[in-house]
């Protein structure tokens, strides 16, 4: 729970000035946080929609990471629908969408034979 949420939860019981002093936030910051509630809700909904788009691409090939998924999502879409690779990475982390396991090369996982003649 954030300090702002604590203040919002007790807003009807205690004065804002007192709540802000208790949780050590400025009143202006608290009111700005309250005003941004609609924007946060809209952003969460947009992130959920993006997570579904990411899952669709990820199911096609689970070896795609954030850069490849971003390229796939931005391929042939209008400029206003493009997404940033950092946002894709953040949404992937939040939705626990992970890249499939990497395969190791044979030379790195196998043991090297020791030349017994060279001592």
Q: Could you read off the pLDDT of 18-75 as tens digits, one per residue?
A: 999 999 999 999 999 999 999 999 999 999 999 999 999 999 888 889 999 999 999 9
- What is the distance between the terminal CA atoms of the chain, rounded to a whole angstrom? 65
Count helices and strands in the chain by DSSP H and E runs: 7, 0
Across 85-113, average pLDDT: 76
The answer to whether 16 touches 25, Cβ cutoff 8 Å, is no
Which pLDDT score is estimated for 117? Answer: 64
What DSSP designation does 80 have?
A: G
Least Cα distance to 99 among 72, 50, 59, 53 occurs for 59
């Amino acid at each position: 729970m954030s300090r702002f949420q604590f203040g919002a939860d007790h807003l009807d019981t205690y004065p804002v000035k007192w709540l802000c002093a208790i949780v050590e936030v400025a009143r202006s910051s608290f009111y700005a946080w309250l005003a941004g509630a609609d924007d946060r809700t809209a952003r969460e909904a947009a992130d959920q929609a993006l997570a579904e788009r990411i899952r669709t691409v990820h199911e096609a090939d689970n070896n795609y990471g954030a850069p490849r998924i971003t390229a796939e999502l931005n391929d042939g879409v209008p400029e206003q629908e493009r997404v940033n690779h950092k946002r894709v990475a953040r949404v992937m982390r939040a939705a626990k969408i992970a890249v499939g396991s990497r395969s190791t090369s044979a030379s790195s996982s196998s043991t090297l034979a020791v030349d017994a003649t060279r001592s």
